[in-house]
Structure 1
Amino acid sequence: MVKAVVAGASGGIGQPLSLLLKLCPLVDELALYDVVNTPGVATDLSHISSTAKVTGYLPKDDGGKAAMKDADIIVIPAGIPQKPAGKPGMTRDDLFKINAGIVKGLIEIAAEVAPKAFILVISNPVNSTVPIAAEVLKAKGVFDAKKLFGVTTLDVVRAETFVAEIGGQKTPSDLTVPVIGGHSGETIVPLFSKISPSVSIPDEKYDALVNRVQFGGDEVVKAKDGAGSATLSMAFAGYRFAEKLLKAVKGEKGLVEPSFVYLPGVPGGEAIAKATGLDFFSVPVELGPSGVEKVTNPLEGITDKEKTLVDACVSGLKGNIEKGVTFANSTPEQK
């Protein structure tokens, strides 16, 4: 029996993600949690004639604990979306504090009632929310680096799509395009030299393609005229990672996907931590029954252009990670 939880299930990412998980034959029980509307979303999904039994919970009556209790996999898209640049409203720092607080509170619940669960963090900024999650789990004495993932799959999905447009591939998902580093702007590093099967990117298109992968989210915000961010593509990416993980837990071999992980705690991570000076980095992860089986060092054999991108990434990531760690250790536990 596999119990999956979506924390933030009523939102723009949470609803389509919950729909995809409801359709997944690997999920037996799907528990939805959010601050509003979850019983309605759950009832709606429960009418779909697939395997998973669906329940919905609100914060009252310890709904978070009831939703997450004994979960096998917890996916967290909870939070508020980035506002478009230049528009009035909250600053990035306001956004950070709200989402960081939401993630911290959810991880505190998960640590208590589902300490062995795989945790997939989608809530932005991933570069900071994953370190927050790690710090909370460490403080609770239940941290297993092999089971904590920052979902950066949307960057990979975008890279596959945009490269296929240039290379003329009919099915973008047939390409493997490693995207490493972090999950925002310049911290996103697509490694076009390692595309498999190989695709040649013309020099005159290289910089624009890198920029499009790094700032694809802005493209969506602009197209939605500031009324939303990437929700459907993010839900698909979150589901793609969750499905791969569930297949690996069932014993399927050779499943690899980049993810933002705690390097010192995963097999193969030390070399990358030493090379970057960072504890967290998105790297190709081979998945297995215990989560991270091993990570591959993507920095070997990269081009000079890619080295320049990595340098900019490392510089930005350092501050993002520190910000998350500081937040986790300076705010009281939420009750």
Structure 2
Amino acid sequence: MMKVTVIGAGAVGSTAADVIARREVADEVVLLDIKEGYAEGKAMDLMQTSSLEGFDTTITGSTNDYEKTAKSDVIVVTSGIPRKPGMTREELIGINAGIVRTVVTNALAVSPKAVIVIVSNPMDTMTYLTYQIAKEMGINKKRVIGMGGALDSSRFRYRLGEAMGVSQNDISGMVIGGHGDTTMIPLTRLATWNGIPVSRFINADSLEEVKQKTMVGGATLTGLLGTSAWYAPGAAICQVVEAILRDEKKIIPSCVYLNGEYGQKDICIGVPVVIGKGGWQKIINVRLSNEEKAAFEASAAAVRKMNEALS
């Protein structure tokens, strides 16, 4: 019996629960939220699609009762507030750090063997905070994953497919570095169309445009929607959760703790990792070009600067 808890029943969290249930990745999904009755209502609404969609996953909701999340195999954290006009990044980190610290501590107390997937923003910093909490609780670092690279890479493939006029399902491409408009690094040099470098089909200017559009992918959607996206983030969460529960050993760019890999220590940042049973199993060392190395170092420096707000 596989059990997944999603903390935060907003648009992203409830969409993740929906995708996980429809794909029958888990036997049970628990939605948890601090707002009275909100998670229960979302869970009931989702369960009423069961006979229509043909899935057997059980979805339940709870208002802040962590006992109902006990013995979860995976815990997904989407809790937190978005940045508001006039709010500094440090203020956002301060508020969300308090929220994440509370929910992670409470959730791991009743599910100490769970893999924890962080979605809350700023994602790299919240993943680093979660790593610190897990370390204090004696939990292996490989059970802490930040979900940013899966989403950013899907946006990269979308933009490549759009530029080339082909199915994005035939495109391979990944994004590493920090999960931010100025810190992510779409690896255009390594992107392929069914194994053939995409650079054979689109020119350097088009590739640069794809890169820039990918980097502002979240901001573009926020500008159009007036709020953050939820369909692709929810599906990206499911991809990571499915890889864990089914021990798929998929390479998914994810925010994990580095201890010398890629020339970085004591930081959580996006790199390609093998994900399967127990969380991330192995960091894949991609030979970066000098330009890519410089971009990664700059990205890591920006993430470290943000992490300073935790102290």
TM (norm. structure 1) is 0.84
Name the SS for the 1:115 alignment partner: coil
Shift of 1:288: 2.6
* 1:257 aligns with one of 231, 252, 257: 252
Shift of 1:278: 4.9
Shift of 1:287: 1.9
* 2:307 aligns with one of 301, 306, 321: 321
Q: Provide the residue aligned with 2:70 in structure 1.
A: 69
Q: Provide the residue aligned with 1:333 in structure 2.
A: none
Between 1:122-131 and 1:195-204, the stretch displaced more is 195-204
Q: Provide the residue aligned with 1:216 in structure 2.
A: 217
Matched, 1:110 2:100: no
**2:268 and 2:162 mapped to 1: Cα distance?**
31
**1:256 and 1:176 mapped to 2: Cα distance?**
11
Between 1:288-297 and 1:28-37, the stretch displaced more is 288-297
**2:214 and 2:68 mapped to 1: Cα distance?**
35
Change beyond 3 A, Cα 1:89–1:320: closer
Name the SS for the 1:185 alignment partner: coil
Task: Spell out the pairing of 1:1-335 with structure 2 (5 A cutoff).
Answer: 1-9=1-9, 11-36=10-35, 37-47=38-48, 48-49=50-51, 50-59=55-64, 63=65, 65-83=66-84, 88-141=85-138, 143-152=139-148, 153-170=150-167, 172-196=168-192, 197=195, 198-200=197-199, 201-224=202-225, 227-248=226-247, 252=248, 254-264=249-259, 270-272=260-262, 275-298=263-286, 300=287, 302-324=288-310, 326=311
1:42-94 Cα distance to aligned partner (Å, 9 max, x none): 111222132211211102xxx1x2232110011111122244xxxx3533333
Change beyond 3 A, Cα 1:102–1:29: same
Shift of 1:276: 3.1
Shift of 1:277: 4.4
Question: Contact 1:193 / 1:303 at 8 angstroms: preserved in 2?
Answer: no
Shift of 1:304: 4.1
Question: Is there any run of 5+ residues in structure 2 with no aligned partner, and where?
Answer: none
Name the SS for the 2:75 alignment partner: strand
Same amino acid, percent of matched pairs: 30
**1:209 and 1:136 mapped to 2: Cα distance?**
37
Between 1:97-106 and 1:313-322, the stretch displaced more is 313-322
Shift of 1:26: 2.6
Question: Contact 1:258 / 1:282 at 8 angstroms: preserved in 2?
Answer: yes
Runs of 4+ in 1 over 6 A off after TM superposition: none
Name the SS for the 2:116 alignment partner: strand
Question: Contact 1:147 / 1:291 at 8 angstroms: preserved in 2?
Answer: yes
Q: Provide the residue aligned with 1:332 in structure 2.
A: none
Shift of 1:169: 2.1
Name the SS for the 2:11 alignment partner: coil
Letter in 2 for 1:3: K
1:237-266 Cα distance to aligned partner (Å, 9 max, x none): 212222222221xxx4x41101000123xx
Question: Contact 1:82 / 1:229 at 8 angstroms: preserved in 2?
Answer: no
Question: Contact 1:27 / 1:51 at 8 angstroms: preserved in 2?
Answer: no
Letter in 2 for 1:129: M
Q: Provide the residue aligned with 1:267 in structure 2.
A: none
Letter in 2 for 1:4: V
Question: Is there any run of 5+ residues in structure 1 with no aligned partner, and where?
Answer: 265-269, 327-335
Q: Provide the residue aligned with 1:330 in structure 2.
A: none
**1:45 and 1:96 mapped to 2: Cα distance?**
31
RMSD: 1.8
Change beyond 3 A, Cα 1:188–1:137: same
Letter in 2 for 1:173: N
Question: Contact 1:69 / 1:114 at 8 angstroms: preserved in 2?
Answer: yes
Name the SS for the 1:17 alignment partner: helix
Letter in 1 for 2:57: A
Letter in 2 for 1:147: R
Letter in 2 for 1:116: K
Shift of 1:119: 0.6
**1:180 and 1:271 mapped to 2: Cα distance?**
13
Question: Contact 1:160 / 1:176 at 8 angstroms: preserved in 2?
Answer: yes
Name the SS for the 1:186 alignment partner: coil
Question: Contact 1:278 / 1:314 at 8 angstroms: preserved in 2?
Answer: no
**2:210 and 2:113 mapped to 1: Cα distance?**
39
Question: Contact 2:163 / 2:210 at 8 angstroms: preserved in 1?
Answer: no
TM (norm. structure 2) is 0.90
